[in-house]
Structure 1
């Protein structure tokens, strides 16, 4: 059989049945071709997602993942709002509640480390749905805790689910986002976390006076359980994951048909082309393989340093400000300024990453953070200047830190993406734990506020250097 011309349709390959002749992919010749009887066709799933405008179905996925991150942020931050009520009801010291506040952080780290490999093996939707059910259920049980020891255990278990949900929401959303807008879309989804943390304060201020602190945990448990019903019904499995795992074509076709709103019955096989492939079976082995281990370590180092800074300030800044004789209410207000601009910083950073080199955009964010930290330390005499600089430092810091998830999602292949993102978040949580304890470590040295902020500039510079180093090594290896 001879074809008088080559069939050219971007993203498609045609196979005349029984003749062993293939028409390859090429640039369009301006002609239109009808599908012939007996002609089978394969299509690249990445091309489908990249070529289509952002559809209503992708918007639905974004909304559902955004809501997951909102309830994740609510349940992660909720204990901080319950501390005064617990001290009053249980007649305990503030220091006695330290294990309760840190238990969830340990759970978050452990949950992230386990969730990634599980999602790369059993699917993003499955592990994500189970994670939401897990942290919602344990949050509900925590409402019935009657002593500190029980609450520590229950908060750790809640943290396992919280730590597992976040990386899988990031992975799923990144795999449904077109690459040209991936950073902006993932960062927009990530804005749900500070929103959820803020909602925890508003909900607590309304529920605790009327129904007690247990009602806040009940709300934090019931909401994700209700949300899980919608996730089970409407959230799809990642099309990229289905192709990578060689799932049935009909299953992949159903997902992609909703995105394209086209009839894909002619497609008999879906493929996936990625820049780098690897025959290593274990996702974690691939993440630390020769092609990825340097980039992996640089991502871990960067995220570790970012969360060290963030949790240090959120845990100790009120105390540091009180040490310079600032009223406690004013110290709390100034501390709240630090993450306040995070949403704007996150969205702007994502928008810039889609247009320029993402490594350099995030590195600039960390560098500006270091500069602002030094300036904050020098501006303590002027309250207005101090407030503005602290707000700007928080905006650049949060924008850079939250953008790391999108960067990691684009770095790893589909077969190890959930593991790569989850382990970066898990190692970063260790940095958060170190940041929470760093204040106690530095206390004997009695550093001035200016010295403390100058010291905080160091991990910010390290984070920027690690990203630039990763980018330079990748560019040299091409």
Structure 2
């Protein structure tokens, strides 16, 4: 097996994109849309489920928490199997398992059954959150990589929008079970597309160096419409793993700690909203169908939030953009909490909250990517993702606690708006810290 000079970013990085590569990005985006529906399914079904089963908020919080725990374990541990067995088989198994668990959820008759199925679903969703990002980045070339990843992330917002549409059309006539059947059907479509159209990543094939590597690589390249190679390229890999301690070195330490604090507090608020907002809207006077429409409009607002945050973050303005969205989020949370029970006003408040929420999410991730040198950038993003998963576990439980305390919608959202001030203040001081960082600290970009 002959090996050529190292390719620093992947086999397809410097090659033009083919139509098949665009198809693969689209399949990954569809799968992520399905994942958004899966996450939102319980949130939209919750008001009807509570009525049918007589569940207390604390019990419902355990179901949301089961999904979040599964997400964390899947992202941290199960997804690593993709480096051993391949991106395609792990993605295929995770998607197929979701089809099964979503259909079985519609047949569940007890809270323990629902909790077990939501945990398993979360396990697979956490796995896909990693493998889909890896596959899109490995199948796209240099020109299309960033925009392809951005489109992939927008898929989640589209998924919540589709979930809202399903809720508006299905919940009242067919019951809460219909949400999971619809979501499972969408995942089944993604599963079939992955099974028949998605090849293994050429970058993964190259990493498995053995006598059959060249043949497998050329077969994958042919399926992609790419020219074959006569020798296996040596895809460059990082030497050693960047330690988390490097993120806390020198002048960047305080700013890093403030960024992590911001991410955790924001994640608690964000995942609380994701899981409890439909229930809050129904309690405020909307019907489950109207709450579904609110989810649909919120999904559109979320997509806009991704795009606006990306535009405002250009030229090194990631921190300022994030602070703007955090300030607007404080206002949006107060609006949603104090809005009188009028259908139009509640839907507008919920949608503006989603717009701000997604903008903060995008901004914090961009900060982790752009404000650290290449040697620790992966560790930076990994920490942000891990902290977000902790928030995903804490947020739904915290929401259930606030409802159990009987604070009401106004009290609950005043608490959340007050919490959102913490990351806003923290990011201001983090920006000051990055500005003071000396040149020898090798900060990737100093905020303007």
- Give the superposition deviation at 1:109: 1.7
Aligned twin of 2:243: 288
Change (3 A) 1:242 1:210: same
Aligned twin of 1:425: 385
Aligned twin of 1:434: 394
Query: Does residue 254 of the first structure (1) align with residue 219 of the second (2)?
Result: yes
Q: Provide the C-alpha distance between the structure 1 equivalents of 2:281 and 2:173, rounded to a whole number of angstroms.
A: 32
Give CA-to-partner distance per residue, 1:240-284, whole Å, 9 cap, x none: 33333436123233334555x45334x31302246xx21x4xxxx
Counterpart selection for 2:266 from 306, 309, 322 = 306
Aligned twin of 1:35: none
Aligned twin of 1:462: 426
Aligned twin of 2:321: 365
Q: Provide the C-alpha distance between the structure 2 equivalents of 1:381 and 1:209, rounded to a whole number of angstroms.
A: 27
- Give the superposition deviation at 1:431: 0.9
Counterpart selection for 1:130 from 93, 103, 125 = 93
- Give the superposition deviation at 1:409: 8.1
Aligned twin of 2:355: 395
Q: How many residues align?
A: 422
**1:140-179 correspondence to structure 2 within 5 Å:** 140-179=103-142
Counterpart selection for 1:263 from 206, 227, 230 = 227
Counterpart selection for 2:307 from 344, 347, 354 = 347
Q: Provide the C-alpha distance between the structure 2 equivalents of 1:422 and 1:76, rounded to a whole number of angstroms.
A: 21
Q: Provide the C-alpha distance between the structure 2 equivalents of 1:406 and 1:172, rounded to a whole number of angstroms.
A: 20
- Give the superposition deviation at 1:148: 1.6
Q: Provide the C-alpha distance between the structure 1 equivalents of 2:195 and 2:439, rounded to a whole number of angstroms.
A: 42
Q: Provide the C-alpha distance between the structure 1 equivalents of 2:380 and 2:79, rounded to a whole number of angstroms.
A: 7
Aligned twin of 1:83: 46
User: Which has more radius of gyration?
Assistant: 1
Structure 1 runs not aligned, ≥5 long: 1-16, 18-39, 281-285
Secondary structure of 1:46's counterpart equals coil
Change (3 A) 1:405 1:151: same
- Give the superposition deviation at 1:334: 11
- Give the superposition deviation at 1:321: 8.9
- Give the superposition deviation at 1:97: 2.9
Change (3 A) 1:423 1:158: farther
Aligned twin of 2:67: 104
Q: Provide the C-alpha distance between the structure 2 equivalents of 1:350 and 1:242, rounded to a whole number of angstroms.
A: 33
Change (3 A) 1:430 1:448: closer
Change (3 A) 1:181 1:222: closer
Counterpart selection for 2:31 from 68, 75, 89 = 68
Give CA-to-partner distance per residue, 1:7-46, whole Å, 9 cap, x none: xxxxxxxxxx9xxxxxxxxxxxxxxxxxxxxxx9657373
Q: Which moved more, 1:83-92 or 1:143-152?
A: 83-92
Q: Provide the C-alpha distance between the structure 1 equivalents of 2:134 and 2:38, rounded to a whole number of angstroms.
A: 21
- Give the superposition deviation at 1:459: 2.2
Q: Provide the C-alpha distance between the structure 2 equivalents of 1:216 and 1:339, rounded to a whole number of angstroms.
A: 17
Q: Provide the C-alpha distance between the structure 2 equivalents of 1:407 and 1:68, rounded to a whole number of angstroms.
A: 26
Task: Answer 1 or 2: higher relative contact order, Cα 8 Å, separation at least 6.
Answer: 2
- Give the superposition deviation at 1:170: 1.2
**Contact kept in structure 1, 2:87 and 2:131, CA below 8 Å:** yes
Q: Provide the C-alpha distance between the structure 1 equivalents of 2:175 and 2:33, rounded to a whole number of angstroms.
A: 22
Q: Which moved more, 1:224-233 or 1:443-452?
A: 443-452
Change (3 A) 1:117 1:203: same
Query: Does residue 204 of the first structure (1) align with residue 167 of the second (2)?
Result: yes
Give CA-to-partner distance per residue, 1:446-471, whole Å, 9 cap, x none: 96966752431212443676688689
Q: Which moved more, 1:376-385 or 1:427-436?
A: 376-385
Q: TM-score, normalised by structure 1?
A: 0.71
- Give the superposition deviation at 1:132: 0.9
- Give the superposition deviation at 1:124: 2.1
Query: Does residue 115 of the first structure (1) align with residue 84 of the second (2)?
Result: no
**Contact kept in structure 2, 1:141 and 1:154, CA below 8 Å:** yes
**1:315-330 correspondence to structure 2 within 5 Å:** none
**Contact kept in structure 1, 2:98 and 2:124, CA below 8 Å:** yes
